Amino acid sequence: MKQQNQEKKTKTTSFMANVIMLICSQLLIKLLGFIYRLVITNVEGFGDTGVGYYAAGYQIYSLLLTLSSTGIPSAVSKLVSERLAIGDKSGAQRIFKISLLFFTGLGLIFSVGLYFGAGTIATNILNVPDTVYVMRVLAPAIVFVSISAVLRGYYSGQQNMKPISISQTLEQFLNCVLSITFVYACVGKDAYIMAAAGNLSTTLSIIIAFVYMIIYYKNNKIVLEPGQKSPESNKSNKDLLKTILGISIPITIGSVISVIGSVIDTATVSNCIQVAYSNMGLTKEALENLAMTKSGILSKIDTLVTFPIAVNAAFSTALVPAISESIAKKDLKTAKNRMTFSIFASILIILPCAVGFSILANPILKMIYPSASDGALILQLSTIPMIFIALSNTINGGLYGLNLSKVPAISLSIGVVVKTILNISLISNPNINIVGAVIGSIVCQLISFSICYHVLKMKLKIKIDKKNTILKPIVSAIIMGLAVHITHYLLNLFIGNTLSTVIAIIVGAFIYLLALLVLKTLSKEDIMMIPFGNKIYPALVKMHLYQEESIV
């Protein structure tokens, strides 16, 4: 019994260590991404128009990238973790090699296709011909991302998040430095040239991070025991590829649909804004620039709201192999505990971010984008779908681990159909314009979340403690919001927007954490799951915020 408890404690520590590692990595990645987007947006001649060109071409690239690489990390991670859970190293290595061969070929096809098809897409789909340059500089990156995706799934399946975190951080660091350098080198040129230069850095950074992953693999691949034979050795490569695709395709479809949502925003804004303002006597060039400016505002806001979403995505990444392993070992209790805690942690992360963005929308935009600060209302409204996306990502990680990857794809498909209808009807109205895109996103993500949560609750029989998991975090976030508003309002009278915004954010974080502790939102067991929890809990007892108790 003592040994079993120790094993469970070790599993929990390992799971949370992976989550914390990924969270730290995502924080740094998003911070670096935030920095270079901030800098280039404020470069003279770039602004919202440059961001619009940058984002329009990037969305098409993202769609093809998703098709060739997004589903594979989760599929490889799930299958490798299942093989390793029963000691089948040979089977795990075979799955990796088959995946690597297939997705390298697929990535190459999409790289070539985007490069030579960029002109047609720019003219006939986006209706802005100059976006062709952005797509062409990004095209070579697709094949390298596809290979890296297989490698990341391979190590995720081993629950080794180190190479994943390092490669992604390295890629973003180089992207940050090179983007700023290349855009500044093109100052004085047209906005679309500056946008293409900024995206060229993405391709170069991806190639360098790919080289790191190859070097890491050569020194850290699964070592097979002499004479070891896989229980699946009788299966042909074709059969195993069907299994891999059977898992990856639904995940890919779900991811593609998610990206399609962004592409729909880009396409509907670039076309419908031109329709909405067509009777105002503007030239075609002026209408295109207006459409790109509106698209730039949406992209700018998207950069902000994806920050907490990306941090929260660590739970989804860690849940796939963790739950797959638990299911393979028929340890349903551990799977439930990990899933329930991950949903709880996601709520704790996303709620204060949503409240903070809502209250400080205008100050944050003025602080970060002094040369292009429009979009406060868009940011406030975008916090609603942000909450649902974050929770859906966590829930989807559990669904993938349970081999229910079709559910997110189907639910998001329904949401995107509704979003498309709303976008077309609302954005074409000049009195609503890009607010219509956010309204569409709210409805889309609410539909997707509702379906996925219902299925997860039904299949895994999870029980959510509404008082501690939902009510107390909401109360804590509201208390934080009041503190943030008062702090910023008073300080802004004396020390200006930038410093008062930074201080208000720091004060808000402290007040939120304090409110969580005073309300005893986290149980002793929750705290002990956190790295160094065995030291944090006694400190809280000494501060009289908690009373000593045994874990139930």
CB 388 within 8 A of CB 446: yes
**Nearest Cα to Cα of residue 503 among 386, 363, 366:** 363
d(C-alpha 176, C-alpha 278), whole Å: 38
CB 502 within 8 A of CB 379: no
* Structure confidence at residue 120 (pLDDT): 85
Of the pLDDT bands very low, low, confident and very high (cuts 50, 70, 90), residue 548 is low
Q: Which range has the top average pLDDT, 72-86, 419-433, 469-483?
A: 469-483
Tokens of 158: 């081993």
* Structure confidence at residue 182 (pLDDT): 86
Between 172 and 45, the more confident residue is: 172
What angle in degrees, to the nearest 10, is found between the helix axes of 332-359 and 376-401?
180
d(C-alpha 109, C-alpha 140), whole Å: 10
Of the pLDDT bands very low, low, confident and very high (cuts 50, 70, 90), residue 190 is confident
Give yes or no for residue 212 having a pLDDT over 90: yes
Least confident of 202-206, 212-216, 365-369, 523-527: 523-527
Residue 524 lies in a domain: no
* Structure confidence at residue 317 (pLDDT): 65
Residue 519 lies in a domain: no
Q: Is 314 helix (H, G, I), strand (E, B) or coil?
A: helix
Of the pLDDT bands very low, low, confident and very high (cuts 50, 70, 90), residue 2 is very low
Residue 535 lies in a domain: no
Element (H, E) at 168: helix 162-185
Of the pLDDT bands very low, low, confident and very high (cuts 50, 70, 90), residue 475 is very high
167 DSSP 8-state letter = H
Residue 212 lies in a domain: yes
Least confident of 27-41, 99-113, 172-186: 27-41
Q: How many CB atoms lie within 10 A of CB 510?
A: 12
Q: Quick one: what percent of the chain has pLDDT higher than 70?
A: 89
With vertex at residue 404, the alpha carbon angle to CA 462 and CA 334, rounded to the nearest 5 degrees, is 40
Element (H, E) at 548: none
Write the secondary structure of 251-302 as one string of H (helix), E (strand) and C (coil).
Answer: HHHHHHHHHHHHHHHHHHHHHHHHHHCHHHCCCHHHHHHHHHHHHHHHHHHH
CB 533 within 8 A of CB 527: yes
Residue 182 lies in a domain: yes
Give yes or no for residue 169 having a pLDDT over 80: yes
* Structure confidence at residue 30 (pLDDT): 73
Sign of the dihedral through C-alpha 522, 524, 529, 533: positive
Q: At 222, phi and psi to the nearest 5?
A: -65, 130
> Can you give the residue range of the structural domain that contains 120?
24-41+51-221
pLDDT, tens digit (0-9, with 9 covering 90-100), for 445-463? 999 999 999 998 888 888 8
Region for 526 from its dihedrals, namely left if φ exceeds 0, alpha if ψ lies in -120 to 50, beta otherwise: alpha
* Structure confidence at residue 162 (pLDDT): 84
CB 425 within 8 A of CB 404: no
Of the pLDDT bands very low, low, confident and very high (cuts 50, 70, 90), residue 552 is very low
Tokens of 375: 């979009």
Amino acid at 486: I
Least confident of 95-99, 230-234, 335-339: 230-234
Of the pLDDT bands very low, low, confident and very high (cuts 50, 70, 90), residue 487 is very high
Of the pLDDT bands very low, low, confident and very high (cuts 50, 70, 90), residue 418 is very high
Q: How many CA atoms lie within 13 A of 89 on its CB side?
A: 8
Of the pLDDT bands very low, low, confident and very high (cuts 50, 70, 90), residue 214 is very high
Letter string b/e over residues 411-441, b meaning 16 or more CB atoms within 10 A of that residue's CB: bbbebbeebbebbbebbbeeeebbebbbbbb
E-assigned strands of 26-81? none
Of the pLDDT bands very low, low, confident and very high (cuts 50, 70, 90), residue 529 is low
For residues 540-544, give the mean pLDDT.
77
Give yes or no for residue 518 having a pLDDT over 80: yes
d(C-alpha 530, C-alpha 512), whole Å: 18
* Structure confidence at residue 309 (pLDDT): 83
* Structure confidence at residue 277 (pLDDT): 79
pLDDT, tens digit (0-9, with 9 covering 90-100), for 259-304? 677 777 777 777 787 777 777 777 777 887 777 777 778 878 887 8
Q: How many CA atoms lie within 13 A of 269 on its CB side?
A: 29
Q: At 548, phi and psi to the nearest 5?
A: -60, 130
Element (H, E) at 83: helix 71-85
**Nearest Cα to Cα of residue 435 among 306, 305, 301, 310:** 301
CB 263 within 8 A of CB 56: no
Tokens of 269: 């804004």
* Structure confidence at residue 414 (pLDDT): 92
Sign of the dihedral through C-alpha 165, 171, 177, 183: negative
d(C-alpha 530, C-alpha 328), whole Å: 25
70 DSSP 8-state letter = I
Q: Where are the alpha helices (DSSP H) in 329-375?
A: 332-359, 361-368
Averaged confidence pLDDT in the chain: 81
pTM for the complete prediction?
0.72
* Structure confidence at residue 6 (pLDDT): 47
- Measured in residues, the chain has a length of 552
* Structure confidence at residue 480 (pLDDT): 95
Give yes or no for residue 551 having a pLDDT over 60: no
Give yes or no for residue 373 having a pLDDT over 80: no
pLDDT, tens digit (0-9, with 9 covering 90-100), for 111-142? 998 889 888 888 887 777 778 888 888 888 88
Give yes or no for residue 407 having a pLDDT over 50: yes
For residues 223-252, give the mean pLDDT.
78
Of the pLDDT bands very low, low, confident and very high (cuts 50, 70, 90), residue 380 is very high
Q: How many CB atoms lie within 10 A of CB 233?
A: 11
Give yes or no for residue 191 having a pLDDT over 70: yes
pLDDT, tens digit (0-9, with 9 covering 90-100), for 9-68? 445 556 667 767 777 777 787 788 778 777 877 777 777 677 777 777 777 777 777 777
* Structure confidence at residue 7 (pLDDT): 47
d(C-alpha 495, C-alpha 490), whole Å: 9
Domain count, the chain: 1
* Structure confidence at residue 504 (pLDDT): 95
* Structure confidence at residue 279 (pLDDT): 75
